[in-house]
Amino acid sequence: MIKKCLFPAAGYGTRFLPATKAMPKEMLPIVNKPLIQYGVEEALEAGIHDMAIVTGRNKRAIEDHFDISYELESQIEGTDKEDYLRGIRHLMDNCTFSYTRQVEMKGLGHAILTGRRLIGDEPFAVVLADDLCLNLGSDGVLGQMVQLYKQFRCSIVAVQEVPSADIHQYGVIAGEMIRDDIYRVNTMVEKPKAEDAPSNLAIIGRYILTPDIFELIEETEPGKGGEIQITDALMKQAQRGCVLAYKFKGTRYDCGSGEGFMEATQFCYDNLYLKGLSY
């Protein structure tokens, strides 16, 4: 039912300068795989095969990564180094990749709207690649959300509890508890001060959105930071229909921060790379 996953990947990655001056932040490696590859793997595991990627200037490395490298592959053909490409070849064999450019950086809402032509009139997933989500040995976060969508048929945002000192960095929700891990959203605020936050439930980079979100984004005026916020469009959707917030099972690493990036790298090195599970 959810056939497409949108990856907004046009941002500058300023928190990782100077590394991201010429390299897309989505291509930063967690041990031996770029962040965006982990996201595509999560989407494929959830049963999604069409990857729609919104890029920008200096992002060609993303397109090259999900393509054949004839020179490299001919050099390592017949050697044990071919194993290193096993994972990316699996993605290329089982996924399609389409791309469009966000010419101006006007916020996440605008980035999602830019991907409209790639998505069409159908529900879709959204993955922010610098939020690395892992749930080893069980369904990934997106897979969990796809199963929920089959039941509820409405937009769903992934949330987690965060310390009050960090709440100003996130979109924050409050709502009616349906079960211990699902809320029907009635309030959604982008980057509030700690004293103004309606709860400590912060939205992270996993969404399932119904196609009417595109019209709602078009109606949305620039908000926090002068950007078009997906949070504001989702609040309209919650008022007119239904938006659910889901406390997912698994661990999320904020790989846009140095601390989260290092935690993710250490975890993946210990639990995936050393066990030969990271190709």
SS (H, E, C) 180-193: CCEEEEEEEEECCC
How confident is the model at residue 202, as a pLDDT? 96
How confident is the model at residue 156, as a pLDDT? 98
Where does the pLDDT of residue 7 fall: very low under 50, low under 70, confident under 90, or very high at 90 and above?
very high
Q: Which two tokens stand for residue 164?
A: 């009050």
pLDDT reading at 77 higher than 90 = no
Higher pLDDT, 73 or 207: 207
CB atoms within 10 A of CB 204: 19
DSSP state of 26: G
How confident is the model at residue 153, as a pLDDT? 95
How confident is the model at residue 11, as a pLDDT? 86
> Mean pLDDT across the chain, nearest whole number?
93
How confident is the model at residue 31, as a pLDDT? 96
pLDDT reading at 62 higher than 90 = yes
Q: Which fold has domain 4-275?
A: Spore Coat Polysaccharide Biosynthesis Protein SpsA; Chain A (3.90.550)
- Give the distance from CA 144 to its chain's centroid: 14
Average pLDDT over residues 178-202: 93
How many residues does the structure list for the chain? Answer: 279
How confident is the model at residue 225, as a pLDDT? 78
Closest CA to 124 of 144, 145, 100: 145
> Phi and psi of 199, rounded to 5°?
-170, -175
pLDDT reading at 278 higher than 90 = no
Say how far apart CA 49 and CA 47 lie, in whole Å.
Answer: 6
Average pLDDT over residues 140-151: 96
Give the percent of the chain with pLDDT over 70.
100
pLDDT reading at 222 higher than 90 = no
pLDDT per residue as tens digits for the range 104-139: 888 899 999 999 999 999 999 999 999 999 999 899
Where does the pLDDT of residue 100 fall: very low under 50, low under 70, confident under 90, or very high at 90 and above?
very high
Average pLDDT over residues 233-262: 95
